[in-house]
Amino acid sequence: MTELLALLGILLTLVFTVVNGFHDASNAVALPVRFNALTPRVALWLGAVFNLVGALLVGLVLNRMITFEIPVPLDVVGVVALLCSLVTAIGWDLATWWWRMPSSSTAAIGGAVVGALLGARAVGLLHGPLPVGPYLSWNVLVPLVVSPVVAFAAAYLLVPPLVHLVRHETPGRVNFRSGVVQATGAAAIHFGHGIQHARRTLWILMVLMLVLGSGFSRGSIPVWLVLLVGLCLGFGTLLGGWRIAYTLSSRVVTLDPLRGAIAQTVSGALLFVGGFLSPIPLSTSQTSTGAILGAGSAQKFRTVYHQTVVRLLLTWIVTAPLCGLVSGMLFLALSPLLPALL
């Protein structure tokens, strides 16, 4: 039975990967499509390719970035905890897509895993130390607080000197160059997203593979598994979550093409560089949104839609605790069935 549950967990992990690609596609394509730098179809295919490349890079070159910082037990308790976490994170991604709110899948899955393991601890099915504090700090609080704040500040500070730099250029030339930068930034965002999400997905898949006893080790990830993750991520990107794109391009702040290019540059640079150098997972949604807000706020006239921003902040704040609560409740509901499987 444990093996069957692990196989179900692998299937749900791949579904979560597809949903994540679908949910996060808007982070990179919203501005280039709005300003006609890319057509919708080209934008999505560009995203699918660079998500795939980012995922392949993690498995083949950056596998040291795949960390096992929280000890999920390699038994039925750990498998059920991951199942509850995946169901919760998938549901949250779909709910926030329906609400047109860009949210962090990193915070969702991180909070859900901790909630499920705390549920296991509450009913006596998990023993030993559980480093919840460090895990939450690195996987939830940093993406929630640091990445959007840094993106906001960098985009805000770049606007004045760049506006001054192009003050004598014609609007047509500025818009054309901004479009090129937006398209390049979209590729960088997708590439960073592929790196960031592949790290989380491969961690979950390797835990489930170890439960199956398939002969894999943490230091050796098969190429076919990496390719499967990249293809699922790319396929989800091709589906395109355009509901969130409308929020990012029109309902958060009013931008012109130049400020859109600045926002794409900042978020693309942070995700691209962070994917290579930082073990800290960065939220693509919150980094992109922070950069858009920063670029749009550096204007003389009021352009920020504060009601939408408040809804965004509330969504970000409740993501981890709410997903942890739901995942923990799911585990508690299933816990009476577990002793027979141990």
Residue-averaged pLDDT of the chain: 85
Q: Residue 217's pLDDT is what? A: 63
Contact 22, 97 (CB under 8 A): yes
Distance from chain centroid for Cα 215: 29
pLDDT of residue 198: 86
Neighbours of 297 (CB within 10 A): 17
Rounded CA-CA distance 314/282 in Å is 19
For 298, list phi and psi in degrees, rounded to 5: -85, 60
What local confidence, expressed as pLDDT, does residue 135 receive?
Answer: 58
Residue whose token pair is 């949910």: 23
Kindly tell me if the per-residue pLDDT of 94 is higher than 90. Answer: yes
pLDDT in tens, 179-236: 999 999 999 999 988 988 888 888 888 888 888 876 666 667 788 888 999 999 999 9
Q: In sequence order, which residues have a C-beta less than 8 Å from that of residue 172 and are 6 or more positions away?
A: none
Q: How confident is the model at residue 161 (pLDDT cuts 50, 70, 90)?
A: very high
Tell me if 92 sits within 8 A of 323, measured CB to CB.
yes
85 torsion bin: left (phi>0), alpha (psi -120 to 50), beta (else): alpha
Q: How many CB atoms lie within 10 A of CB 212?
A: 16
Strands (E), the chain: none
Q: Given this model, what pLDDT does residue 219 score?
A: 64
Residue 94 half-sphere exposure, CB side, CA atoms within 13 Å?
11
Predicted pLDDT of residue 1: 74
pLDDT at site 18: 95
Q: pLDDT at position 332, please?
A: 92
Confidence at residue 214, expressed as pLDDT on a 0 to 100 scale? 61
- Percentage of the chain exceeding pLDDT 90: 38
Q: What gap in Å lies between CA 299 and CA 159, rounded to an integer?
A: 9
Assess whether pLDDT exceeds 90 at residue 52: yes
pLDDT tens by residue, 274-318: 777 766 677 888 899 999 999 988 887 767 888 888 999 999 889
Q: Which residues contact 214 (CB under 8 A, 6 or more apart)?
A: none
Answer for the pair 227, 271: CB distance below 8 angstroms, yes or no: no
Q: Distance (Å, rounded) from C-alpha 148 to C-alpha 206?
A: 30
